[in-house]
């Protein structure tokens, strides 16, 4: 029996906006599940419904098999960490952390002991008498977490807790959050818009778009086998390069070039003579003879280099081929949204991640090597992955 | 599930002790001075500042002239009030004599001290009651969605549109039926209902208490009442002070309502009492009442001025709704 179980969870606001459409999700005890997606995809709404702060239009939320749709947040035994911390400004850190215990009339000695333990675990022992106004962002975040863990809940909810912190602190706090999760061992639902957080922190990740679940799998699975165009583009940085192409016999026709497909062509049999969308990740493109997994791969791709970004540890090469890009427009068609903008600006450009030692300059014409087995294919109408 | 047993991470550097009150006030004063550019840099035409300052000074004089008149003329005899120049002193200097007379039953109509005590009673009880009701009502309207909430709020605000003179007679008849005439509750109960206070508190709650805070408190297991008293109320204090001051001042200065409600002299507040003296002084000129009227005016405004001065850091912040840092 899973610790949290969402079945066909739907939310329609009174303005008619459908924020969540039939979400099915289950979180095992002790599992860390991340809900990720762009703004407005319904992830925060889903979290608030699990917390009991939002009414449920249809579907059920169950904790360990018990349906809690009509249970008020007070009695659900969930703890939540908010994006803006939501600390009580007129109470000290100790009182903030202990507030939930005060509400349950836990005797003072017990309460103080538990507050002290939680504070020690988070490095807050020196700050117990301070008010939130005199704390830094990171400290406030830790107080918010302390307030949640002191209750020893069965369900942990986190709503983008790290998005208000600067980049360096965010990286630090990521490991802090995971450390606390391991120690507590409660089922955790973590909401974020940052796919890096999702990939590094989650045991399983649920990708949402427009209120609809796109894919629910381990980070590895999301990266290796994205279920559709949106997941393919959303996961992985820099984004996957996507092009409109067609299949002819055993070859992929990409603009004026042909790429031999070998084994990959079996799944593509129904698409012979038709258009597909082909994707290749920047890290799966390599230079001939260069080190790295794509170095000795079979197929080749000729491209014109537009820009080279040297990062010190690697090179990002912006290139162009004569195949039409599939990113923005296909995305829009598949999900009915107009999220063009920056994607359109880089319409025909692809990105390759090369080793720092690669010899490449702007205006060069280079031959990339790629493994056809690492190509991803998507149906041009539905955006679904072709397997 | 046991409590977390982790080794704590490296301790952050210990910060210095929190600053004292005097240091904080000094820092705030300096910060405020830094936050504004001097008037020379506003880019105004020459003479604008002088012109505006002159206008402000004239306006201030216009407002303060009656107060100055009261202060000055409370020191004069009745004859001098009428005959000497209004804005300067004249001999004999009768201030203390008049002040002493204030507390004697000069007229047979009741003493100033009784009226003063009544005023304090009505204002404090009415003002505090108004604040409590406005706080509860404002929080309820701001934080809860219930059927008819918009309609109810509209009705309360619409009450502001009705002038009291319009309802004077119906009010009297209704109160007579429930025996509130000549009762202190007839004065206190209506004073506890303030549409302006309700509106102020609702707006203040909307601006100063983020929804996330109440959400967090609900998740922490607090009941709605607990949330109100422990979380919301402490954050509503500046707004509460504003409503308290406005209600107390409003009831203190109220003339029409007690005039309608009371016919018994001993229940009058100072406003009506002074009106009574005024009437008598007009009718029979040799009662030496005028100095008393002027003196009572002076004494009556002093507590209000003191209250506003003492609590100014609240009502300044409260009226500027939303400028209070959270």
Report chain B residues whose CB lies below 8 A from the CB of A126.
Answer: 11-12, 14
Q: Which of B270, B253, B246 is nearest to B318 (CA)?
A: B246
pLDDT the model gives residue B16? 58
Please list every residue in chain A whose beta carbon sits closer than 8 Å to the beta carbon of residue B9.
Answer: 123, 176
How many structural domains compose chain B?
2
Which letter does DSSP use for residue A92 in this model? Answer: -
The per-residue pLDDT for range A257-310, each reduced to its tens digit, is 888 887 767 788 888 888 889 999 999 888 876 545 544 556 888 888 999 999
User: Which of A86, A123, A184 shows the shortest C-beta gap to B12?
Assistant: A123
Q: Per the domain annotation, does B171 fall within a domain?
A: yes
A114 pLDDT band, cuts 50/70/90, is very high
Portion of chain A with pLDDT greater than 90, in percent:
43
d(CA A102, CA A105): 5
* pLDDT at residue B19, as a whole number: 67
Mean pLDDT of all residues in chain A? Answer: 86
Q: Give yes or no for a contact between B241 and B308, defined as CB atoms under 8 angstroms apart.
A: no
Other CB atoms within 10 A of residue B154 CB: 11
Mean pLDDT of A316-326: 86
Same domain, yes or no: B128 and B150: yes
For residue A257, the model assigns a pLDDT of: 86
Tell which A residues from 125 to 154 touch B, by Cβ distance under 8 Å. 125-126, 130, 133-134, 139, 147, 149, 151-152, 154
Buried b (16+ CB within 10 A) or exposed e, A243-252: bbbbbeebbb
Confirm or reject contact between A108 and chain B (CB < 8 A): no
Instruction: Check whether residue B199 and residue B314 sit in a common domain.
Output: yes
Whether B304 is in a domain gets the answer yes
B62, part of any domain: yes
Say which residues have a Cβ less than 8 Å from residue A125's Cβ, sequence separation at least 6: A116, A119, B8, B11
Rounded CA gap, A116 and A121, in Å?
9
- Chain A residues touching residue B231 (CB < 8 angstroms): 88
Q: What is the CATH number of the domain that holds B167?
A: 1.10.3720.10
Q: What is the four-CA torsion angle of A183, A189, A195, A196, rounded to 10 degrees? A: 0
Cβ-Cβ contacts under 8 Å, B8 against chain A: 120-123, 125
**Which pLDDT value is given to residue A266?**
78
Which of residues B78, B101, B124 is at a domain's end?
B101
State whether B74 and B219 are in the same domain. no
Inter-chain touch A184–B210, beta carbons under 8 Å: no
Residue B324 confidence (pLDDT): 37
Last residue of a domain, one of B62, B80, B101: B101
SS3 (DSSP) at A320: strand
pLDDT of residue B287: 63
The DSSP line for B282-320 is HH-GGG-HHHHHHHHHHHHHHHHHHHHHHTHHHHHHHHT
Residue B3 lies in a domain: no
pLDDT per position as a tens digit, A49-62: 999 999 999 999 99
DSSP state of B194: -
Hey, how many other C-beta atoms are within 10 angstroms of the C-beta on B69? Answer: 15
Q: Residue A259 pairs with which residues in a beta bridge?
A: A252
In a 13 Å sphere around the CA of A212, the CA atoms on its Cβ side amount to 8
Q: Note the pLDDT of residue B6.
A: 61
What pLDDT is recorded for position A105?
A: 87
Say whether pLDDT at A325 is over 70: yes
Q: Answer whether B221 sits within 8 Å of A80, measured CB to CB.
A: no
Q: Virtual CA dihedral for B53, B56, B57, B60, nearest 10 degrees?
A: -160
In this structure, are B72 and B116 located in the same domain?
no
Distance of CA B82 to the CA centre of its chain: 33
Which segment of A79-93, A238-252, B39-53 scores lowest on mean pLDDT?
A: B39-53
User: Do residues B297 and B320 share a domain?
Assistant: yes
- Averaged pLDDT, groups of 10, chain B, 326 residues long: 55 61 80 75 80 94 92 84 81 81 69 89 95 95 90 89 84 90 90 91 91 92 91 91 91 91 89 87 73 88 88 61 39
CA pair distance B100, B276, nearest whole angstrom: 19
Query: A132-145 pLDDT, tens per residue?
Result: 988 888 899 899 99
Are residue B84 and residue B128 in the same domain, yes or no? no
SS3 A104: coil
Question: Of B74, B101, B128, which one is at a domain's C-terminal end?
Answer: B101
Residue B259 placed within a domain: yes
Distance from the Cα of residue A54 to its chain's centroid: 23
A346 band by pLDDT with thresholds 50, 70 and 90:
very low
Is the residue at B164 inside a domain? yes
B120 and B91, same domain (yes or no): no
In a shared domain, residues B234 and B288: yes
Same domain, B199 and B62: no
Environment class of B302 (CB within 10 Å of its CB; exposed 0-12, middle 13-18, buried 19+): exposed
pLDDT at position A199: 92
pLDDT digits (tens, 9 = 90+) for A201-224: 999 999 999 999 999 999 999 999
User: Does the beta-carbon distance from A122 to B14 stay under 8 Å?
Assistant: no
Q: Is the pLDDT of residue A85 over 80?
A: yes
Q: Tell me: pLDDT of A333 over 60.
A: no
Domain for residue B16, yes or no? Answer: no
Q: Find the domain containing B70 and state its range.
A: 36-101
């Amino acid at each position: 029996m899973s610790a949290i179980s969402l079945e066909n969870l739907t939310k329609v606001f009174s303005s008619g906006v459908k924020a969540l459409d039939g979400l099915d999700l289950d979180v095992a005890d002790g599992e860390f599940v991340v809900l990720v997606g762009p703004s407005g995809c319904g992830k925060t709404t889903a979290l608030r419904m699990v917390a009991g702060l939002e009414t449920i239009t249809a579907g059920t939320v169950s904790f360990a098999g018990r349906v809690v749709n009509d249970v008020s947040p007070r009695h659900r035994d969930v703890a939540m960490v908010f994006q803006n911390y939501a600390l009580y400004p007129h109470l000290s850190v100790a009182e903030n952390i202990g507030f939930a215990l005060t509400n349950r009339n836990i005797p003072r000695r017990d309460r103080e002991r538990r507050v002290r333990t939680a504070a020690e675990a988070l490095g807050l022992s020196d700050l117990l008498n301070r008010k939130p106004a005199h704390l830094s962002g990171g400290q406030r975040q830790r107080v918010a977490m302390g307030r949640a863990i002191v209750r020893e809940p069965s369900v942990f909810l986190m709503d983008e807790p790290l998005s208000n912190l600067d980049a360096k602190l965010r990286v630090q706090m990521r490991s802090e959050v995971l450390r606390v999760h391991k120690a507590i061992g409660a089922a955790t639902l973590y909401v974020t818009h940052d796919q890096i957080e999702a990939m590094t922190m989650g045991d399983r990740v649920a990708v949402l778009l427009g209120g609809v679940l796109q894919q629910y799998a381990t980070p590895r699975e999301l990266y290796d086998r994205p279920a559709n165009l949106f997941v393919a583009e959303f996961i992985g940085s820099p984004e996957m390069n996507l092009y409109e192409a067609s299949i002819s016999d055993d070859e992929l026709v990409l603009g004026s070039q042909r790429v031999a497909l070998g084994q990959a062509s079996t799944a593509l049999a129904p698409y012979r003579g038709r258009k597909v969308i082909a994707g290749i990740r920047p890290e799966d493109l390599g230079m001939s003879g260069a080190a790295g997994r794509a170095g000795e791969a079979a197929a080749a791709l000729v491209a014109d280099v537009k820009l080279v970004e040297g990062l010190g540890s690697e090179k990002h090469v912006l290139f162009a081929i004569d195949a039409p890009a599939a990113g923005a427009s296909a995305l829009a068609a598949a999900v009915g949204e107009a999220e063009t903008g920056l994607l359109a600006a880089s319409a025909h450009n692809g990105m390759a991640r090369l080793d720092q030692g690669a010899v490449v300059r702007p205006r060069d014409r280079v031959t990339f090597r790629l493994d056809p087995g690492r190509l991803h294919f998507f149906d041009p109408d539905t955006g679904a992955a072709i397997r | 599930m046991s409590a977390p047993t982790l080794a704590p991470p490296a301790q952050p550097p210990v910060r210095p002790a929190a600053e004292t009150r005097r240091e904080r006030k000094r820092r705030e004063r300096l910060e405020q001075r830094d936050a504004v550019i001097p008037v020379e840099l506003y880019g105004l035409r020459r003479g604008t500042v002088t012109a505006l300052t002159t206008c402000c000074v004239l306006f201030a004089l216009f407002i303060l002239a009656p107060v100055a008149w009261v202060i000055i003329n409370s020191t004069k005899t009745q004859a001098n009030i009428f005959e000497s120049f209004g804005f300067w002193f004249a001999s004999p200097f009768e201030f203390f004599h008049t002040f002493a007379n204030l507390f004697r039953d000069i007229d047979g109509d009741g003493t100033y001290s009784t009226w003063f005590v009544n005023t304090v009673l009505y204002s404090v009880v009415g003002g505090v009651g108004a604040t409590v009701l406005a706080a509860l009502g404002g929080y309820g309207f701001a934080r809860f969605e219930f059927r008819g909430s918009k309609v109810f709020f509209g009705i309360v605000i619409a009450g502001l549109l009705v002038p009291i003179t319009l309802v004077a007679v119906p009010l009297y008849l209704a109160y007579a039926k429930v025996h509130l005439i000549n009762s202190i509750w007839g004065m206190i109960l209506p004073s506890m209902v303030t549409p302006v206070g309700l509106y102020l508190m609702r707006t203040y709650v909307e601006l100063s208490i983020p929804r996330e805070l109440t959400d967090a408190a609900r998740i922490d297991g607090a009941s709605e009442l607990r949330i109100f008293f422990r979380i919301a109320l402490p954050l509503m204090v500046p707004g509460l002070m504003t409503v308290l001051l406005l209600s107390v001042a409003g009831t203190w200065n109220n003339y029409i309502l007690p005039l309608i409600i009371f016919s018994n002299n001993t229940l009058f507040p100072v406003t009506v009492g002074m009106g009574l003296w005024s009437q008598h002084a007009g009718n029979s000129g040799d009662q030496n009442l005028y100095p008393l009227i002027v003196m009572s005016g002076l004494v009556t405004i002093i507590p209000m001025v003191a209250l506003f001065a003492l609590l100014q850091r609240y009502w300044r912040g409260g009226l500027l709704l939303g400028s209070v840092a959270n």
